Structure 1
Amino acid sequence: GMNPMDLKRGIDKAVDAVVVELKTNARKITRNDEIAQVGTISANGDAEIGRFLAEAMEKVGNEGVITVEEAKTAETELEVVEGMQFDRGYLSPYFITNQDKMRVELDEPYVLIHEKKLGNLQALLPVLEAVVQSGKPLLIIAEDVEGEALATLVVNKLRGGLKVAAVKAPGFGDRRKAMLEDIAILTGGTAIS
C-alpha cells in the first residue's frame, strides 16, 4: 500500500507539470482555416462540421456561446441567435403568428416579466389598455398564465385588439428569479415580484 496523501501530492505535481508543458507547446489560433482544422479534428475528421464551427466562431467571437444540437432533419445548419434564447414555448397555439413555422414572431414588443402565476388580469388592465393604445405587441413571461388570464389574452388576440403572446418563465426557484432578472436587464426593464 501507499500513503494516499503522498499519492495525491504526486498526482498534483504531475498535473502541474503537464499543464506547464501544454502551455509551452500551445499556440493561439486566429485564422478561420486554423479554427476549421481544430473543429475537423474535434469532429472525428468531419470537414463540414469543422467549417461550420469556424463559421460559428467567426460570427459569435471568442466570448460567444456555441451550442450543438441534434436536428430533426438530415441537414446540418448554422443558426445564429442574437440576444437570449430559452427553452420554453408559447402557452397557447392561438398566439402563433407564423403558421408555416409554428412560431410566434413579435416585432419590438413590450415585455412584461412576472415572477408568479397570472390567473387574473384585473391588476394588469391599465397596462394592457396602454399596450393596445400603443399598437405594439406584448410578450408576457411569467411562472404561468392560466384560467381567466389566459382566456382573456387569447380572446383579445383573436379579436385583433391585442398582439400578445405568453410564455412560461425559464428555470425553477432561485434560478428562475435570476433568469428573469437577466431577461429584464437584456430588455431594459425590471422583473415584477
Structure 2
Amino acid sequence: VSEALLASATPVSGKTGIAQVATVSSRDEQIGDLVGEAMSKVGHDGVVSVEESSTLGTELEFTEGIGFDKGFLSAYFVTDFDHQQAVLEDALILLHQDKISSLPDLLPLLEKVAGTGKPLLIVAEDVEGEALATLVVNAIRKTLKAVAVKGPYFG
C-alpha cells in the first residue's frame, strides 16, 4: 500500500503549492498561508513547531539558531542579564554524549579554547563537580567565556 501511495505521489514545492495543500488539509486559508510561509522560510530541512497559545490570534514566529529545552547549568553563565540568557557568538562547540565531571579530562581542551579567544558551548549529558566549578570560576573571572548545558533528550 505504501509503495503504491509513494508511486502516485506528486511532490509539492514552493510557497504557493505548500499553502494550497495546507489549506485543503486544515480547511482554513489563513492557516494554509501561514504554513506555506513557514515552510518557504525554513526550507526542506528546517523545523516548524506548532504550539498552543493563550492569545486569540494565530501568529508566525521565526527563531534563528538553536534552542534548548533546558537552560545553562549555572546562573554564572548569564551574559544578557536583562533577558537572563547566555549569548555566545562565533563559539566553539563541544558535543559530548556522557557526563563531564573530571577536570583533568577537560583542562587541556579549555587551555586550547582560551588560546583562541572564542567562547565555548559545552553540550553534554551533564557537567558537574570540579569541571563545572572550573567553568564557573572562569566565568566569574572572565578568563574564558564558556557555557555548559544539558543536551536535548538527556535527563
TM-score category (smaller protein): 0.7 to 0.9
Greater percentage in helix: 1
1:116-163 C-alpha deviation (Å, 9 max, x unpaired): 222231232222122222211011122211122212211211211110
Question: Structure 1 residue 103 and structure 2 residue 53: aligned?
Answer: no
2:37 corresponding residue in structure 1 = 55
Q: Aligned pair 1:149/2:131, yes or no? A: yes
**How far off is 1:107 after superposition?**
1.3
Equivalent residue of 2:16, what SS? helix
State the partner residue of 1:178.
none
Matches within 5 A, 1:1-193: 19=5, 23=8, 28-45=11-28, 47-71=29-53, 76-81=59-64, 86-171=68-153
Q: Deviations over 1:7-28 (max 9, x none)?
A: xxxxxxxx68x959x93xx755
TM-score normalised to structure 2 length? 0.76
Aligned-pair Cα RMSD in Å: 3.1
Describe the shift of the 1:155–1:124 C-alpha distance in structure 2 as closer, same or farther (beyond 3 A). Answer: same
Equivalent residues of 1:52, 1:78 under 8 A apart: no
C-alpha separation in 2, matches of 1:39 and 1:90: 37
Question: What residue ranges of structure 2 are gaps of 5+ in the alignment?
Answer: none
Relative to the length of structure 1, the TM-score reads: 0.63
Contact 2:38 2:60 in 1 (8 A): no
For structure 1, list consecutive stretches of 5 or more residues without a partner in the other structure: 1-14, 173-193
**Equivalenced residues, count:** 153
Greater Cα shift, 150-159 or 113-122? 113-122
Give the superposition deviation at 1:38.
Answer: 2.5
Q: Percent identity?
A: 47
Structure 1 residues 65-93: Cα deviation after superposition (integer angstroms, max 9, x where no partner): 322233466662232545x6553321122
Structure ranking higher on relative contact order (CA contacts 8 Å, 6+ apart): 2
- The one-letter code matched in structure 1 to 2:62 is E
